[in-house]
């Protein structure tokens, strides 16, 4: 049974596999200006659950051997966003002409126990299914 996710007053974002480029800096500047805490997840942390990476109570360090961790594509995970903050963030990409992040998610009680690799596989499968439906 997944643990409950406490409401956070301070929204947070985890960034996975973002390259150090101007686009990344624009995203980080926007988020921090909105009061969102941003953390770039390091390769050595990829075996940890999202709940642990967000420092949620009840999620412990897994201590997975580094050779078991998988690389993940560029991905962004949000936690503690209210609807207005989420809408404004998504609008930021369109209005500022910033190339969108293909894989993005909001932390849920289900995915909090997943690693970044597990979440990225689910998001990619959802994206592929949506694209198939659009073509049909």
Q: How far is CA 8 from the centre of its chain?
A: 16
Regarding predicted confidence, which is higher, 136 or 19? 19
Q: Strand order of the sheet with strand 75-79? A: 37-40, 12-16, 75-79, 103-106
Is residue 2 situated within a structural domain?
no
Digit-coded pLDDT (tens) for 75-119: 999 999 999 999 999 999 999 999 999 999 999 999 999 999 999
Q: Is the dihedral of CA 125, 118, 82, 23 positive or negative?
A: negative
Q: Model confidence at 6, in pLDDT bands (50, 70, 90)? A: low
Is residue 1 situated within a structural domain?
no
pTM of the model: 0.88
Total tally of structural domains belonging to the chain: 1
Is residue 38 situated within a structural domain?
yes
Q: How far apart are CA 25 and CA 16, in angstroms?
A: 14
Residue 8 confidence (pLDDT): 54
Residue 2 confidence (pLDDT): 47
Is residue 5 situated within a structural domain?
no
Digit-coded pLDDT (tens) for 32-77: 999 999 999 998 899 899 999 999 999 999 876 655 567 899 999 9
Is residue 30 situated within a structural domain?
yes
- 108 is in which domain, residue-wise? 12-135
With beta carbons less than 8 A apart as the criterion, state whether 75 and 120 touch. yes
Is residue 4 situated within a structural domain?
no
Residues 6+ apart with CB under 8 A from 88: 34
Q: 3-state SS of the chain?
A: CCCCCCCCCCCEEEEECCCCCHHHHHHHHHHHHCCCEEEECCHHHCCCEHHHHCCCCCCCCCCCCHHHCCCCCCEEEEECCCHHHHHHHHHHHHHHCCCCCCEEEECCCCHHHCEHHHHHHHHHHHHHHHHHHHHC
């Amino acid at each position: 049974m997944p643990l409950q996710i406490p409401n956070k007053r301070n929204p947070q974002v985890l960034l996975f596999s973002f390259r150090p480029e101007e686009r990344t800096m624009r995203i980080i500047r926007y988020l921090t200006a909105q009061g969102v805490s941003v953390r770039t997840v390091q390769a050595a942390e990829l075996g940890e659950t999202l709940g642990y990476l967000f420092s949620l109570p009840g999620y412990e360090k897994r201590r997975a051997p580094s050779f078991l961790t998988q690389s993940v594509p560029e991905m962004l995970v949000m936690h503690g966003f209210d609807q207005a903050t989420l809408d404004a963030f998504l609008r930021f990409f369109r209005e500022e002409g910033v190339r969108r992040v293909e894989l993005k998610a909001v932390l849920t009680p289900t995915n909090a126990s997943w690693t970044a690799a597990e979440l990225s596989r689910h998001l990619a499968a959802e994206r592929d299914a949506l694209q198939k439906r659009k073509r049909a």
